[in-house]
């Protein structure tokens, strides 16, 4: 018996099942970057998609094991003669996962394979790969639907795999339809009926994928398959980013160590960034709002005892507590927020009263800092005379030209001064903000090279109602990221370009501030990975 598989392990399928998400497009190089990051986090198994032609890549991960993925043999072919299985047998990873059918509905309606023949297909395929020296995980597709329909046959499928030498059978809730209590009961019954370790693979169609995975572990499952941030087709897969801290911190079930968990927030943001998706502000554990407190009473409570409104210590998952600044929050929150970036202020300090006054004035004009911690940080530093701007703006100009052929061309020219040097730059963009961003970067990136790591990831515009007889006011919210964390900035003006410019400059100033304060470059890695070829993907 494989002892490693009796411990709870995490099995990531972001690079295979996660890629089925609508709109997901990730290059082979980007997949390798994700694999390295997951390896660094401490995920035990990483499924790299279909087996690679390059035989070396599996040895280059530091801690994780790369797993090759494929399907059972086709009907009417010997396993040894099945092209897909032969590729798997020749692939470098020692462990392979194959997915096979379990549900008679699929056998009857889709495959037109008789149930006994399907059992032979499963057994032959597993036996062939085991004979080729592989450790085989068997993914039972649609297991829960099959078990609901015909438990005896569903168990026969698992036994066919186990008797042929599978090291683990994984129960897949392929349609994501099963509720947690049914998963828990089924896993218990399966464990009583088969003699190999059992894994769980949930989809999120009933929004129960995380819950289903956790109860499966409680019932005795020892491998949890899922994806980073729950990426996957339809409503996604089970989100390993939520599962890992629950297993380790709330259930004492293992998976990741406390030290590894501290990299969770950074990893979730990194993967989102590489996939060109923005991480949900409210995503549990790792989102920017996951430990954000708003309102005087909550703020006062978490000041004295964080556990009053925090289910775990945010640092345990690499996140941090934030205080949302609003009129409700007052002096205490200003002091608290200032302390977050190392400025000690006393609530009786005259400067604090002045800051609260200025803050209320700004809120009155339409500013809102709850989702714009970057701008609030800069506001506070400005008020305290602590902020040195990156550059001085002489002027900018944006031209939007709509042509007869239907194309709209946007061009921005910008003139700034840095240390007595006058810099002029012109750039095109697909919109005014994009063109301004490009022109500003072009002008100053030579002097501030770290700017190249900062990207705008989200841009939101809100038109506010007329205030005090003035015209309507535009509030812009920008999210920027350096691949490790995300911050929000804001700008307000009657003019949308000016509001956007204000938010844009703040996002760059704040990003540069972080890099200037954090200083050190990220640690180098000892090992490197070459591209893992992966194309397409089967359901599981
Ligand atoms: Zn799946």
pLDDT value at 496 more than 60: yes
- Give me the phi and psi of 45, to 5 degrees please: -125, 135
- Distance from the CA of 396 to the center of ligand 1, in angstroms? 50
pLDDT value at 258 more than 50: yes
| Angle ∠(291,373,414) on CA atoms, nearest 5 | 150
pLDDT value at 489 more than 80: yes
For the residues 221-225, what does the mean pLDDT come to? 98
If you count them, how many residues does the chain have? 540
Region of poorest pLDDT, from 29-33, 75-79, 257-261:
29-33
| DSSP conformational letter for 239 | B
Region of poorest pLDDT, from 171-180, 185-194, 314-323, 523-532:
523-532
pLDDT value at 334 more than 60: yes
- Distance from the CA of 176 to the center of ligand 1, in angstroms? 9
- Distance from the CA of 141 to the center of ligand 1, in angstroms? 8
Interhelix angle for 296-304 vs 330-340, to 10°? 50
- Distance from the CA of 47 to the center of ligand 1, in angstroms? 12
- Distance from the CA of 459 to the center of ligand 1, in angstroms? 32
- Distance from the CA of 142 to the center of ligand 1, in angstroms? 9
Residue 540's pLDDT is 61
- Distance from the CA of 204 to the center of ligand 1, in angstroms? 10
Maximum alpha-carbon separation in the chain: 85
Give Cα 181 to chain centroid, integer Å.
27
| DSSP conformational letter for 227 | B
Spatial CA neighbour of 117 closest among 155, 73, 148, 81: 73
In this structure, the number of other CB atoms found within 10 A of the CB of residue 109 comes to 9
Q: Which residue has the higher pLDDT, 33 or 139?
A: 139
- Distance from the CA of 262 to the center of ligand 1, in angstroms? 27
- Give me the phi and psi of 369, to 5 degrees please: -100, 5
- Distance from the CA of 272 to the center of ligand 1, in angstroms? 19
- Burial class from Cβ neighbours inside 10 Å (0-12, 13-18, 19+) for residue 280 reads middle
Q: For residues 426 and 403, is the Cβ–Cβ distance under 8 A?
A: no
- Distance from the CA of 485 to the center of ligand 1, in angstroms? 28
- Distance from the CA of 44 to the center of ligand 1, in angstroms? 18
- Distance from the CA of 48 to the center of ligand 1, in angstroms? 14
Pairing of β 223-226 and β 198-202: parallel
Residue 349's pLDDT is 85
pLDDT value at 329 more than 60: no
For the residues 112-121, what does the mean pLDDT come to? 93
Report how far apart, in Å, the C-alpha atoms of 124 and of each of 127, 158, 483 are. 5, 13, 45
- Distance from the CA of 288 to the center of ligand 1, in angstroms? 28
| DSSP conformational letter for 194 | -
> Rounded distance, CA 160 to CA 248, Å?
33
| Angle ∠(432,438,443) on CA atoms, nearest 5 | 125
Ramachandran class of 285: left when φ > 0, alpha when ψ lies in -120 to 50, beta otherwise: left
- Distance from the CA of 540 to the center of ligand 1, in angstroms? 4
Residue 54's pLDDT is 45
Confidence of residue 457 (pLDDT cuts 50, 70, 90): confident
- Distance from the CA of 225 to the center of ligand 1, in angstroms? 9
Reduced to 3 states (helix: H, G, I; strand: E, B; else coil), residue 115 is helix
Residue 181's pLDDT is 98
- Site of tokens 């978490």: 302
């Amino acid at each position: 018996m494989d002892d490693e598989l009796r411990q709870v392990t995490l099995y990531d399928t972001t690079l295979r099942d996660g890629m089925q998400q609508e709109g997901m497009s990730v290059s082979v190089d980007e997949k390798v970057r994700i694999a390295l990051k997951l390896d660094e986090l401490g995920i035990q198994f990483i499924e790299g998609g279909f087996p690679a032609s390059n035989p070396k890549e599996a040895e280059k991960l530091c801690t994780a094991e790369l797993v090759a993925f494929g399907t059972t043999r086709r009907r009417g072919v010997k396993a040894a003669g099945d092209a897909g299985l032969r590729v798997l047998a020749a692939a470098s990873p020692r462990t392979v996962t194959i997915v096979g059918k379990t549900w008679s509905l699929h056998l009857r309606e889709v495959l037109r394979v008789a149930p006994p023949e399907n059992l032979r297909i499963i057994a032959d395929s597993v036996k062939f790969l085991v004979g080729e020296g592989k450790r085989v995980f068997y993914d039972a597709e649609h297991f829960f639907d099959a078990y609901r329909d015909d438990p005896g046959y569903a168990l026969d499928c698992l036994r066919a795999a186990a008797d042929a030498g599978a090291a683990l059978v994984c129960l897949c809730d392929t349609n994501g339809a099963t509720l947690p209590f049914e998963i828990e009961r089924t896993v218990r019954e399966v464990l009583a009926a088969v003699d190999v370790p059992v894994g769980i693979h949930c989809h999120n169609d009933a929004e129960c994928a995380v819950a289903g995975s956790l109860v499966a572990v409680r019932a005795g499952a020892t491998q949890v398959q899922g994806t980073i941030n729950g990426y996957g087709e339809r409503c996604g897969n089970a989100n390993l980013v939520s599962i890992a801290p629950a297993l380790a911190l709330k259930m004492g079930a293992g998976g990741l160590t406390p030290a590894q968990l501290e990299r969770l927030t950074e990893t979730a943001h990194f993967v989102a960034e590489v996939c060109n998706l923005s991480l949900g502000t409210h995503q549990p554990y790792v989102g920017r709002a996951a430990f954000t407190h708003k309102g005087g009473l909550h703020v006062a409570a978490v000041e004295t005892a964080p556990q009053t409104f925090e289910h775990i210590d945010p640092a345990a998952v690499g996140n941090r507590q934030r205080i949302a600044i609003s009129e409700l929050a007052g002096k205490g929150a200003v002091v608290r927020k200032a302390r977050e970036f190392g400025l000690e202020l006393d609530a009786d300090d005259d400067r604090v009263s002045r800051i609260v006054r200025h803050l209320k004035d700004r809120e009155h004009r339409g500013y809102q800092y709850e989702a714009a911690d970057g701008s609030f940080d800069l506001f506070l530093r400005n008020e305290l005379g602590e902020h040195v701007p990156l550059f001085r703006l002489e002027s900018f100009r944006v031209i939007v030209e709509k042509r007869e052929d239907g194309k709209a061309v946007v061009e921005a020219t910008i003139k700034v001064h840095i240390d007595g040097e006058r810099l002029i730059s012109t750039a095109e963009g697909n919109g005014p903000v994009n063109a301004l961003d490009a022109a500003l970067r072009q002008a100053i990136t030579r002097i501030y090279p770290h700017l190249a790591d900062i990207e705008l990831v989200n841009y939101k515009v809100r038109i506010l109602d007329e205030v005090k007889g003035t015209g309507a006011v535009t509030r812009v919210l920008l999210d920027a990221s350096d691949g490790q964390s995300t911050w929000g900035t804001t700008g307000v003006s009657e003019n949308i370009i000016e509001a956007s410019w204000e938010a844009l400059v703040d996002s760059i100033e704040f990003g540069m501030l972080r890099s200037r304060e954090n200083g050190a470059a990220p640690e180098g890695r000892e090992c490197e990975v070459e591209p893992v070829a992966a194309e397409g993907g089967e359901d599981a």
